[in-house]
Amino acid sequence: MKVVIAVDSFKGSLSSVEAGCSVREGVLRAMGDAEIVVKPLADGGEGTTDTLIEGMNGERIDIEVTGPYREKVSCHYGYIRDKGLAVMEMAQAAGITLYEKKDPLSASTRGVGEMIRHAMDMGCRSIIIGIGGSATNDGGTGMLAALGCNFMDKDGRSCAEGAGALSDIASVDVSGIDKRIWDTDIRVACDVDNPLCGENGATYIYGPQKGVTEEMKEGLDQAMAHYADVSAAALGKDLRNEKGAGAAGGLGFALMEYMGASLMPGVDLIIEAIGLEDELKDADIAVTGEGRLDHQTAMGKAPVGVARLAKKHGAMTLAFAGSVTEGATACNDAGIDAFFPAVRGIISLEDAMKPENAGRNLSAAAEQAFRLIKAARGLG
């Protein structure tokens, strides 16, 4: 029997790989001769970089880049040497949690461009970047400037950075852009489908959490549309209405329009990166899970992505979680055949989340589930 394990992290308790290895221990106690494959799992959001570093034998690359307000910030990305792959999160360089300060007029994505350039310097020609949690509304102009684009005003002077300068852009010179971009496959983990402009766009929907006031919205949205007009004139294409263009304050637009990046749901992108489908083609059972299974899990989170792919190849899907809610039954409709809480008795949340307890409970739950499967299938 082949069992493929891809479990999301139990946040604050177990990493994805630690959770997967705990499940493996339980399966082997029940079925010592099972063929078991453990894969890392993430959804493209916070923690994805560290998950893939651990699960794909990557290296952590620590660098210093320009933060959203021009101060230097420390960040890191993952380098998967044998694949020439970099895995990064824009929030490391321009995230909303880096500072209490919120100034959408000046916040810049320059550090994101510096991270990308550093990865290309390392020889990476494949980049995965998650773009959630941004502090910026600059349309990605800071990132592009760091990579060699020159945004100029009507007098031919380089514009300042930040959303407050978008209306000053009269032309853009892309001749200086880093040519290595065209040889680099850039895939973006993006779970929103907002366009760049309008009442559903970057400024109106996500601006307020970054400090955009009601009075600012219309002017900044018009400035964003102006930036899209100038970009279309320079590049001969207009992707402002593409799904995800408005993500991360317009960073999604810049990545697609100027850098040829493709945007994908985070779960699908990570599943593709780890090669999960190849392992599931001849699998009997897929095991997935996360710290808490609830109705939101069924709305496209990582465990459901695993279940969907397992069903495609005829494998049963089981899920384990630290806790489950009544709404978790929606996961059954989404492709998870059965799910099980790992906690075995009355215990405080603090104790349940201790890594040693969580791992032991997860392993024990997996063992009992697979003992049942073994008996039901007459395997011993």
Asked if residue 177 and residue 69 are part of one domain, the reply reads yes
In a domain, 272, yes or no: no
Number of domains in the chain: 2
Pick out the chain residues at pLDDT < 50: none
> Could you tell me if 223 and 163 lie in one domain?
yes
- pLDDT at position 380 is 66
Residue (of 306, 310, 299, 103) closest to 213 by Cα position: 103
Task: Please tell me whether residues 338 and 249 are part of one structural domain.
Answer: no
Smallest CA-to-CA distance from 147 within 119, 122, 121, 181 is with: 181
* CATH classification of the domain holding 368: 3.40.50.10350
What is the distance, to the nearest Å, from the Cα of residue 379 to the centroid of all Cα atoms in its chain? 40
| Beta strands, E only, 215-344 | 262-264, 285-293, 316-324, 338-341
For residue 100, give the CATH number of its domain: 3.90.1510.10
178 and 246 both lie in a single domain: yes
The model carries a pTM of: 0.90
Tell which of 214, 237, 267 closes a domain: 267
**Rounded Cα–Cα distance for residues 36 and 30 (Å):** 12
Q: Which of 216, 233, 267 is the endpoint of a domain?
A: 267
The Cβ of residue 29 has, within 10 Å, a number of other Cβ atoms equal to: 15
Same domain, 284 and 262: no
Q: Residue 244's domain spans which residues?
A: 48-267
Q: Which pLDDT does position 193 carry in this prediction?
A: 94
- The residue behind tokens 């630290």 is 322
Residues 207 and 62 in one domain: yes
